[in-house]
Chains A and B, each alone.
Chain A
Amino acid sequence: MQASTGRPAPSRPLLGWLVLAAAAVLLLPWYGLEHPLRAVFEGQAQARPVLWQGLAGGRAWLLPLLVLPVLGLWAAWRRQPRLLVTAALLGLGWMVGEALAVTLHGWGYGWLTALFGPGPKQAALGWGALAYALAGVALLAQGLARLGWLRGDAFVLGAILGLAAALVVFVGWPVSVVLVSAVRDNNGAFAPEMLAAKLFDRTIWGLDCLAGGRSCGVAWNTLALALIVGVLSTLLGLATALLALRTRFPAKGLLRILSLLPVITPPFVIGLALILMFGRGGFITTFLAVHFDIPRSRWLYGLPGVAIAQVLAFTPIAFLVLAGLVQGVAPSMEEAAQTLRASRWHVFRTVTWPLIRPGLANAFLVAFIESLADFGNPLVLGGNYNVLSTDIFFAVVGAAHDQGRAAVLALVLLAFTLGAFVVQQRWVGEAGYTTVTGKGEGGISPPLPGWLGAACYGTVLPWLGFTVVVYAIILAGGFVADIGRDNTPSLQYFWTAFSVERGVGGWFLSGSGWSSLITTMELALVAMPITAALGILAAWLLARQRFAGRGVFEVLAMMSFAIPGTVIGVSYILAFNVPPLELTGTAAILVLSFVFRNMPVGIRAGLASLGQIDRSLDEASLTLRANSLRTLRLVILPILRPAIIAALVYSFVRAVTAVSAVIFLTTAQYNLATVYIVGRAEIGEYGLALVYSAVLILVMVGVLVAIRAVVGEQALGRRNMMGQP
């Protein structure tokens, strides 16, 4: 297909990208620098652009990179899209190739060393390389669009290529590095024979505990915990959903609040509260020991404690999934059954229950995956009960420092979560009972059969009470001298963390928590718009564009949802610790981990909303001479506003409460609130940990309320954001 005739001259976007490509090789420092500005102004050798490095710096292998601006300009001038595509592919290909081939310590591949002897060395990629990659992808899109790909839409092509590249670099590449390091020994040599040994190690798969041994393999521990938590959360969630939607339970508002609280609670904080109640020194334990002579024990540390904490944390999620489902059972169907002379029990058994049943599996799998991936609670409460996520952590940071073992454990955990994720996706796809039509359905559901209602009350009320107590401890525990024993109000912990003092030169934040709190807010606020933008953009591409590889794109985009944070953390450390991409220790790696971990939330919110927007709106805009970028900006985004808000809120909240991934990535310079709190809790400073948690929760509530006030009464569409269809 030769479509170059009769086209307008090189467009302004095309020229703009060519200028960027030229700047990337002629002006910008190609390599990463600690202080780019200073290095450039001082004219350090490392800060020179490609052309200089290549001609005068002895790095001739960089010179072929000039193909992109030179050949690209020629192609644009001659209006030859094929040539433009060739230039972009050559440039990008050479960039990836040389970056992988020439590393910090010589050749990146053994066969190159064998062939050429010790090779040249180079540092990690920097600003120039970033600009080059951007320009290359954009020019590729411009060229392909001119060849008629994707209805000649350069913006859509660029968005797809750019997002795909980002997903490959920040999701695909780290995960594959984990896979690769699993088959290497600790010196980096290829050792596939060790993989089987490591993968089926007794510490992972041993079944000693069944035969009276001390403990089972960590894989079995993890599965058993997830199974227990999944079942209990689902049952409690179901009871709560029935209570909220099929009875005249008076405190439905409380249910709503309690179902939202875990979303803004850092995951391990519930574990802290449990320790303060039931730990060896907990106030309930003490009370029982003093008044009833029940000996103090460490029963909480291990499976029971972790399970209780996780059930408390994940029941609300199961509730949200099931509430959506129970709501989806049209009352008209139950009314129809009633008019067919079915009793209340009969209606429930023959209509309501069969319609809910497929969703139970979904709720179970969601809780199951959350439990597998949970890191904070096992860290705080696990004791000797090892699970995969914490074992991965200790393999990396512990005395053993066994990255190979961490990789193998991560592999097992990844297999579990992805397996459950696939099953869940299948199940959701097949459970085609959803009866929500978008029409307001009339009718009133019949109340639950008497004994079933009683059972719901009987299970939910104690759980509710327990949850309220737990949250009371979380919110108030840091503001008393010693919770449960000395309940005099005290600001002692608060001042330790958040004191403000007047010193030389004015007021300054002297509390120990300020720095991590401010870092957290900064990074979460930086990640928030990026996450939401990429998520919504990806959702738009998935919902509205047909392109080859769409399936792979979707899997890659949604997969990071199923990758446990610990695995992300380990994979980022392994992948981004050395050139070509050296990001560890920077704020960028934290932001990137937030963005690519939370992007699926934006995708889900976007997909759900886009599904309700008539496709002809986009098409009308296109036929009205608006290009796809303008269409997205003026038509889609305004209509998608609620979904965008939801994505913003959720990505902010998840970034603030994240602990599992970032605990690997934080440094003294970029410490995060959650990591700080875990650190306090580990050394027993519970008051400080609680006060900080309470502040964090209140800050997030404040942000949520502020966003709500700005957006008005629009529902934030929480149901869209949780793991449900």
Chain B
Amino acid sequence: MSATATAAEAATVEFRGVTKRYGAYPAVDDISFSIARGTLVTLLGPSGCGKTTTLRLIAGLEMASAGRILIGGEDVTNLSAASRDVSMVFQSYALFPHMTVLQNVCYGLLASGVKQRAAETQARAKLETVGLTGLEARRPSELSGGQQQRVAVARAIVLEPKVLLFDEPLSNLDARLRRHVRDEIRALQQELALTVVYVTHDQEEALAVSDRIIVMGQARIAQDGTPRELYEQPASRFVADFIGNANLLPVVLAGREGAMARVTLGGVQLLLAHHGAADGPAVLAVRPNAVRLLPLVAGSGVVGASLTGVVRKAAYLGGHMEYEVALEGLAEPVFVTSTEVAGPLHAGAAVRAAFDGSGLALVPPD
């Protein structure tokens, strides 16, 4: 197995104004994007947003109603799944129950015309890559969930496809295994320099594995960027809400100074990058970890910009605390996380909330 050869095979994926309609209803509505060679791009969004349909459009399991799809620069819009040189790891793994592990992995090679002998050799090598040596003769039903997942991955990568697709590959694994398999997939992708498109609805998973994330909502692309861009500068309420559970607070933008804008939140003034937001009412995304809560002790001085409030709910989650805090001047309570577990606050405690500028972002109002 040679990583370089694989890298040469990996290719770009490009959508040009692709629409997929079921009857009158668009599952994917006029979307365009381009995925660079050798990168892992995640399609992220709530269920029904069109992310799986997009993946299936790449695979050729759905045909576009309009627009062009290019893989490696070649127009594959009308090509069937079998002739697209794309492999997919399914949510259910879709291992063939009547075949052994080895037969499953050989399947695609044999379909591509590789001789039985050569196919088995390649398949064994890939099974070794995913750490399944010794299980070749088992049936899928005799494997654990994690092992089945690896068979599915081996079966897909043995074809050295131009693009490898993952459809929620971790959803059938238990929480402990998820992180491990997630890291394995990322490591494999980087080692083989594969172009990978990865579908998930779990923002943490997406942030952890991706070179780039395409957030989808209501059949369209809501935002397309690196994990850091998405987290730090969400382009819409939807993205801010979906990634990192930001508190979306109404603010007033009261004047700009260069790239910065003065923002009024409750009773405090904040200086933030405005990213082109206009004066007047705006939305501020406040990350739960960007709010620092301090016990309001009588006589203590006010440090920086802060608001007073009362803790409504407090929950201990081992590694961190979760609070719901009602702040003066704000209609909705604010969700806050804190790594300070040694001296937790209790419900009913009076607090002062300070804001950490790195976790705040102005979001254009919808």
Contact = CB atoms under 8 A, between A and B. Distances in A.
Interface of A: 1, 3, 5-6, 145-148, 151-153, 614, 616-617, 619-628, 630, 634-635, 638-639
Which of B78, B111, B152 has the most C-beta atoms of chain A within 10 angstroms of its own C-beta? B78
B85 interface: yes
Contact of B60 (A1, A3, A622): A622
Interface stretch (B86-94, B186-194, B348-356): B86-94
Contacts of A617: 94, 96
20 contacts: A145-B80, A151-B62, A614-B94, A616-B90, A617-B94, A617-B96, A619-B56, A620-B155, A621-B111, A623-B86, A623-B88, A624-B108, A624-B156, A625-B108, A625-B112, A627-B111, A628-B80, A634-B107, A638-B98, A639-B97
A147 B63 CA distance: 12
Contact of A626 (B78, B95, B111): B111
Interface of B: 56, 59-63, 74-75, 77-88, 90-92, 94-98, 107-108, 111-112, 152, 155-156, 159, 165
B326 to A, nearest CB: 44
Given A151-B63, A151-B81, A620-B96, 10 more contacts: A151-B62, A151-B80, A617-B96, A620-B155, A623-B84, A623-B86, A625-B85, A625-B108, A628-B80, A634-B96
A205 to B, nearest CB: 45
Contact of B88 (A145, A148, A620, A630): A620
Nearest to A148: B78
B291 to A, nearest CB: 43
A624 B77 contact: no
A6 B70 CA distance: 12
Nearest to A613: B97
A165 to B, nearest CB: 23
A616 B91 CA distance: 9
B60 A151 contact: yes
B159 A624 contact: yes
Given A6-B75, A148-B63, A151-B63, A616 B81 contact: no
Given A6-B74, A151-B81, A619-B88, A626 B107 contact: yes
Contacts of B165: 623
Contact of A152 (B79, B85, B90): B79
Contacts of B88: 619-620, 623
A372 to B, nearest CB: 38
**Which of A3, A148, A152 gathers most chain B CB within 10 Å?**
A152
Nearest to B59: A623
A1 B78 contact: yes
Contacts of A622: 60-61, 80-82
Contacts of A151: 60-63, 80-81
B107 to A, nearest CB: 5
A85 to B, nearest CB: 14
A631 to B, nearest CB: 8
A630 B94 CA distance: 16
Contacts of A627: 80, 82-83, 111
Nearest to A4: B78
Ranked 3 nearest A-B pairs via Cβ: A148-B78, A624-B108, A620-B94
Contact of B87 (A616, A624, A630): A624
B80 A153 contact: yes
A625 B77 contact: no
A640 to B, nearest CB: 10
B78 A621 contact: no
A270 to B, nearest CB: 42
B90 A620 contact: yes
A626 B90 contact: no
B336 to A, nearest CB: 41
B87 A619 contact: no
Nearest to B167: A616
A619 B98 contact: no
Contacts of B111: 621, 624-627, 630
B131 to A, nearest CB: 21
A5 B75 CA distance: 9
B77 A619 contact: no
Contacts of A3: 77-78
Nearest to B84: A623
A616 B79 CA distance: 19
A1 B83 CA distance: 18
A626 B82 contact: yes
Given A6-B75, A619-B61, A623-B61, A152 B83 contact: yes
Contact of B78 (A152, A628, A634, A635): A152
A142 B155 CA distance: 30
B74 A624 contact: no
A610 to B, nearest CB: 14
Contacts of A614: 92, 94
Nearest to A641: B98
Name, among B59, B85, B94, the residue most crowded by chain A CB atoms within 10 Å (CB to CB). Answer: B94
Given A151-B80, A152-B83, A626-B82, A621 B107 contact: yes
Contacts of B94: 614, 616-617, 619-620
Contacts of B62: 151
Contacts of B112: 625
Given A1-B78, A639-B98, A626 B108 contact: yes
A622 to B, nearest CB: 4
Task: From A5, A145, A634, A639, name the one whose CB has the most chain B CB atoms within 10 angstroms.
Answer: A634
A625 B106 CA distance: 12
A598 B189 CA distance: 52
A543 B216 CA distance: 30
Contacts of A147: 78
A462 to B, nearest CB: 47
Contacts of B159: 624-625
Nearest to A146: B78
A307 B346 CA distance: 82
Contacts of A148: 63, 77-78
Contacts of B108: 624-626
Nearest to B152: A620
Contacts of B80: 145, 151-153, 622, 627-628
Contacts of B60: 151, 622-623
B95 to A, nearest CB: 8
A146 B83 CA distance: 12
A619 B60 CA distance: 9
A62 B74 CA distance: 44
A50 B79 CA distance: 37
Contacts of B56: 619
Given A614-B94, A617-B94, A617-B96, A623 B78 contact: no
A619 B77 CA distance: 17
A4 to B, nearest CB: 10
B92 A623 contact: no
